[in-house]
Structure 1
Amino acid sequence: MVLFTRVLAHTLPALVVVLVGYWMGSGLTAYPVKDGVVTETETGGFSWTHGDARVFNWHPLLMSFGFVFCSIQAALVYISLPFSHAVNKVREERKNWLGLSVLILFGAHWLGSFVVFFYPGAEKDARASIAPYHVAIGMSILGLVVATVETGILEKLAFNGSCNVNGELNGKTVKGYMAPDCVIGNVIGLFVALTLAALVATIWTSKHNETPKTVGDEATPLLGSSGDEKTEMSV
């Protein structure tokens, strides 16, 4: 079960990025309505030209990569790469959750984590007491990240008007028509939600299905272990 959720948590974010790339690159379509006539307009593709509306298509792709892929991989690094904390602590700064809507929370969380777990570093007992809150806050930020992504998908679909098309389209009268653009967007939204669920399940099972081990200072991964034998390192 742990292996299944771990693989799922690693692969779903990559699938989301691929689907968003396809959606923005070639599957994006708008359905403006004028006088009851629906016009199917291809809006996919990428551009760097000033004034070209396709410049915006970089935003969903890059934010999906930063929001979904990078943040999920960062949250899983202490489980999937179960080195001792002495090795892992140099990766602490990589646990960055990106996104405008959670920028302040992210900055405060990262700074607090840096001071407590990296430099100058709190005492062992203090780190042990703070670690559960550190994980809980990080997961909450990831929840906000997913909520932001889902909201962005809804906004894009509403802007395109592709989920409830009514009028004359390609010579046919349609009512409540769900265009392929809408289907792709909703599939991506579903995969994003499943990604968060897989992440939570992976961290939960990893932390609760194993017998706690007494190890030396700086030798316990922040998000739990994978069950593999650890090599204790002294610092």
Structure 2
Amino acid sequence: MAHGIIGSHHHSIMASRVAMLAHVLFLATAVLMLVWLLHYRGGINIQSEDPEQIFNVHPFVMSWGFILLIGEAILAYSTIPMDHRTQKMAHMMIHLVGLILGIFGVYAAFKFHDAAVVPDLMSLHSWLGITAIALFGLQWLFGFVTFWLPAAHEHTRAAAAPAHVMAGLAIFMLAVCAAQTGLVEKSAGAASAAEMKLINVTGIFILLYGVAVASAVALRKAFL
């Protein structure tokens, strides 16, 4: 019994440390993305007459507003010490904001395609991204109906929880993969070696953030 308690405490400490690392990676990724878009790509403006500035809204919103917020919502429910109802509320609302911003990011991509006369949904990146957004919307709706509305039975919630967690992490990592493919596309067209290196480093930080979030959840679940 004592060994189990010590092991659980160890896992709890490790989960908190990995979650803290994820928060640091969050900030680093956000800063790197801003430096790339503002310094190398001329700024972010959905109303601009320059198609490239319209496009820049897409990676900005999808990184800050979708991938990073999804990760923070996952951490809010799994590793941040709050009462259970507050955790659920934070988890649900941050996810909702992420979903809305993700949809706006998709809109920005389509608007860029129209302005630049580029065909839609031709790349692997676009297929992965649309799939991630669609699955995430379904996941949020399922979670809201099952875990927030009072009509769902406790037995149903308990049975659905593991699948909900697994699906959420899978969709989150799918979004990370979509980001990687998008950055690869832009890296190939970088104007300089410095920009290419910055894009690659940003992609690595996004990947590390995804791994840190998933690891924090795994460590937390290991002692529950």
Corresponding residue for 2:203? 189
- Say yes or no: does 1:146 pair with 2:176: yes
Residue of structure 2 in register with 1:87 after alignment: 86
SS of 2:189's equivalent? Answer: helix
Question: What is residue 156 of structure 1 aligned with on the other side?
Answer: 186
User: 1:203 and 1:84 mapped to 2: Cα distance?
Assistant: 17
Q: Distance in 2 between matches of 1:195 and 1:201?
A: 10
Q: TM-score, normalised by structure 1?
A: 0.69
- Report the counterpart of residue 9 of structure 1 in structure 2: 22
Q: Which 5+ residue runs of structure 1 have no aligned equivalent?
A: 29-42, 163-178, 213-235
Which residue of structure 2 lines up, in the alignment, with residue 206 of structure 1? 220
Following superposition, the deviation at residue 93 of structure 1 comes to 2.6
Query: Of Structure 1 and Structure 2, which has the larger fraction of its residues in strand?
Result: 1
Q: Aligned-pair distance for 1:83? A: 2.7
1:112-163, Cα deviation, whole Å (9 max, x unpaired)? 111111113421121111100000000011011101111110111123365x
1:92 positional shift: 4.4
Classify the secondary structure of the residue corresponding to 2:86.
Answer: helix
Aligned amino acid, residue 17 of structure 1: A
- Alpha-carbon distance change, 80 to 205 in structure 1, aligned in 2, over 3 angstroms: closer
1: CA distance between counterparts of 2:32 and 2:80?
27
The residue that corresponds to 1:59 in the other structure is: 58
Contact between 2:42 and 2:53, CA under 8 Å: does it hold in 1? Answer: yes
Q: Is the partner of 1:152 in helix, strand or coil?
A: helix
Is 1:104–2:131 an aligned residue pair?
Answer: no
Q: Give the alignment partner of residue 25 of structure 1, picking from 33, 38, 46.
A: 38
TM-score, normalized by length of structure 2?
0.72
The Cα of 1:51 is off from its aligned counterpart by 3.3
Structure 2 unaligned blocks of 5 or more: 1-13, 107-129
8 Å CA contact 1:116–1:122 kept in 2: the answer is yes
Q: Distance in 2 between matches of 1:13 and 1:86?
A: 25
CA distance in 1, matches of 2:54, 2:138: 31
Paired letter, 1:77: A
Deviation per CA, 1:44-65: give whole Å up to 9, x if none. 3344432353332222122210
Match of 2:121 in 1: none
Distance in 2 between residues matched to 1:180 and 1:62, nearest whole Å: 23
Paired residues of 1:14 and 1:69 also in contact (CA < 8 A): no
1:45 aligns with 2:43: yes
More helix by share: 2
Aligned 8 A contact 2:79 2:217 in 1: no
How many residues align structurally?
179
Q: CA deviation at 1:192?
A: 0.8
Q: Distance in 2 between matches of 1:124 and 1:139?
A: 23
Q: Distance in 2 between matches of 1:89 and 1:103?
A: 21
Q: Aligned partner of 1:200: which letter?
A: A
Distance (Å, rounded) in 2 between the aligned partners of 1:22 and 1:161: 15
Cα distance between partner residues in 1 of 2:216 and 2:58: 29
Contact 1:23/1:44, CA 8 A, preserved across alignment: no
Following superposition of structure 1 onto structure 2, how do residues 120-139 of structure 1 map, counting pairs within 5 Å? 120-139=150-169
The percentage of aligned residue pairs carrying the same residue is 34
Over the aligned positions, Cα root-mean-square deviation in angstroms equals: 2.0
